[in-house]
Amino acid sequence: MIEYGGLWKRVWARLIDVALLLPFGLLNIWFWYESSHLAMVWAIVMSCITPTYLILLHGLCGQSLGKMLTGLKVEEVGAARLSWRGALVRFSPATVFHIASGAGLMYAIHSLPEGALVSATYMQKCRLVISHTPWWGHWCSRF
């Protein structure tokens, strides 16, 4: 008999995955202080990290590290192991939205005057990037 994970196990699994990927976000902040060019490149790299993590681990094991720690596993119909194709299909919408959001962030950083990102405080950087992000970048970052 199949036992479903439930909301709280899924929430904890996701929080664990976010915590594991947090160092990449902190690296993102560091790049914002170093150079606009590094920040633009890292925006695209960063947008690929989460989907790659999810697709690779689900394709290999049927679960992310957070799911492993909470005892959850993604399976295909009939309790079959999740295939690579299944993992790609499952996470393809998230991949598209992450990459589009990263492209919007890259566009926003590129449209800033030279040196504006590096010389600003962190809150000023956030406001600058948000104000220069195109509407589609804002829309995609919500997913």
Percent with pLDDT over 90 in the chain: 68
Full-model pTM: 0.84
* Residues 70-122 pLDDT 10s: 999 998 888 788 999 999 999 999 999 999 999 999 999 999 988 888 888 88
**Distant-in-sequence contacts of 92-96, Cβ < 8 A, 24+ apart:** 93/143, 94/50, 94/51, 94/54, 94/143, 95/51, 95/55
